[in-house]
Amino acid sequence: MDNITHTLFAATLARTSVGRAGRGTTTALILASNAPDIDIVTTAGGVLKYLEWHRGPTHGPLGIVGLGLITAALVSVGLRIFDRRRSSEHAPFRMLVAVSIIGALCHVLMDLPTSYGTRPLSPFSWRWYAWDWMPIIDIYLLGALAAGLLIGQYWPATRRQAAAIALAFLAGNYGVRAISHERALALAPRAFGPILPGRCETAPPRPLIDTWPLPPVTQSDSSGRCLIELAALPDFGTPFRWRLVAHLSDAYETHDVNLLDPRLQQPPATSEAIWRLTSTYSNEWTPAVFQAASTRPVKVFLGFSRFPAVRSVVGRDGVTTVRWLDVRFAAGPQPPQPPDRGQARAFFFGATVRVAPTGEILN
């Protein structure tokens, strides 16, 4: 989730019984709810460092406890310096620690249902986990939390009731997103139609929570194509629109669906080939691709990317241009060949490597 949502949620939580511990709890909750994103300081080392550490240890168990202790200490010192006159009303340090840990933990729990995912077990495990229910910014959640806080600000007597209603809306919003997500996945075979192959024999069963990177899967059907996994990514504007992603053994297929589309609720008609609106992203690993994948920038990219699609083109000079993109952030079909430096801006998130005929990495 974005930091505005984290802040509004913390302020709303402070108006419940959690905020009765004494002065400083609201500040502790707000600071701790944003503290895990302190990993942004790694941008000082460049983009690769940020991708390598983003939603890593600061979102893991050590980070939650450590950031909770640091936040509580900072708030406690601040209270002693700037609020001496009301020292009898200060929350005890142990209570500041407790609410700070709650704030940091809620941050991670709100990141988990987004399609970006998080690494809640780092540094013990660097695997990503996600439920794909929520976009990174949910306008309905922002509106409900902001409205609850404004109502409580103008009518102080209703603060707790407004906070409770906002939190109830939050829970309902997550519930609607979760149900819609399952419905979108159920409609995937109808949306993709005949282009969706059978499941790979060695593909892992669908887990309770999506995780990546996935282990290698061997192609198993006669055409060399099989389905590894299906995913449904949320839409920014409505819980009824989803982007379906079919991870195949040699490509990715994407299809945008609207759960309210009546064509998806009826038996397929011969005149309606909905699956023709599918976009394809090839993902073929050649020896040059494996060579390019050995470079550090690509290792970092593959460690962050959930659906890394790769294409390679050999030029007249024998140089192979290898281009990765994360299908989560792609819009529309791929161009006929990997873009050069001038075209790279057309992609929001990707990695490009040029490999010489001898296998040497050029750039």
Give the number of C-alpha atoms closer than 13 A to the C-alpha of residue 47, restricted to the C-beta side: 8
Q: What pLDDT is stored for residue 344 in this prediction?
A: 45
- Separation CA 188–CA 182 (nearest Å): 10
In this predicted model, what pLDDT tens digit does every residue of 151-210 receive, in sequence order?
A: 999 999 999 999 999 999 999 999 999 999 999 999 999 889 888 999 998 888 888 999
Q: Which of the four pLDDT bands, split at 50, 70 and 90, describes residue 15?
A: very high
Whether the pTM exceeds 0.85: the reply is: yes
The dihedral built from the CA positions of residue 224, 226, 231 and 237, taken in this order, carries a sign that is: positive
Residues 6+ away with beta carbon under 8 Å from 209: 112, 129, 130, 131
Q: What pLDDT is stored for residue 271 in this prediction?
A: 43
Q: What pLDDT is stored for residue 263 in this prediction?
A: 77
**What is the mean predicted confidence (pLDDT) over 263-283?**
71
Considering the chain, what is the average pLDDT of its residues? Answer: 89
Q: What pLDDT is stored for residue 335 in this prediction?
A: 52
Cα 250 to Cα 75, 128, 246, 302, 336: the distances in Å are 53, 22, 11, 16, 17
Q: Tell me: pLDDT of 336 over 80.
A: no
Question: What are 162's strand-pairing partners?
Answer: none
Would you tell me how many other CB atoms lie within 10 Å of the CB of residue 173?
Answer: 17
- Separation CA 274–CA 283 (nearest Å): 23
Q: Which residue has the tokens 């005890």?
A: 92
**What is the mean predicted confidence (pLDDT) over 295-323?**
94
Per-state percent for the chain, helix, strand, coil, to nearest 5:
50, 15, 35
Q: Tell me: pLDDT of 62 over 70.
A: yes
- Separation CA 298–CA 305 (nearest Å): 10
CB 242, CB 259: distance < 8 Å: yes
Task: Tell whether omega for the bond before 297 is within 30 degrees of 0, i.e. cis.
Answer: no
Q: Which amino acid is at 260?
A: L
Residues 6+ away with beta carbon under 8 Å from 157: none
**What is the mean predicted confidence (pLDDT) over 317-326?**
94
- Separation CA 352–CA 356 (nearest Å): 14
Q: Is 76 helix (H, G, I), strand (E, B) or coil?
A: helix
Q: Tell me: pLDDT of 49 over 50.
A: yes
- Residue-level length of the chain: 363
Cα 336 to Cα 53, 246, 280, 339: the distances in Å are 33, 21, 12, 9
Give the number of C-alpha atoms closer than 13 A to the C-alpha of residue 285, restricted to the C-beta side: 13
Question: What are 241's strand-pairing partners?
Answer: 258
Q: What pLDDT is stored for residue 334 in this prediction?
A: 53
Q: What pLDDT is stored for residue 268 in this prediction?
A: 58
Q: What pLDDT is stored for residue 311 in this prediction?
A: 93
In this predicted model, what pLDDT tens digit does every residue of 73-129 receive, in sequence order?
A: 999 999 999 888 788 888 999 999 999 999 999 999 999 999 999 999 999 999 999
Q: Which residue has the tokens 């061997």?
A: 218
Residues 6+ away with beta carbon under 8 Å from 285: 293, 310
End-to-end CA distance of the chain: 34
Structure tokens at 2: 């974005």
Task: Tell whether omega for the bond before 213 is within 30 degrees of 0, i.e. cis.
Answer: yes
Cα 63 to Cα 70, 213, 300: the distances in Å are 10, 22, 21
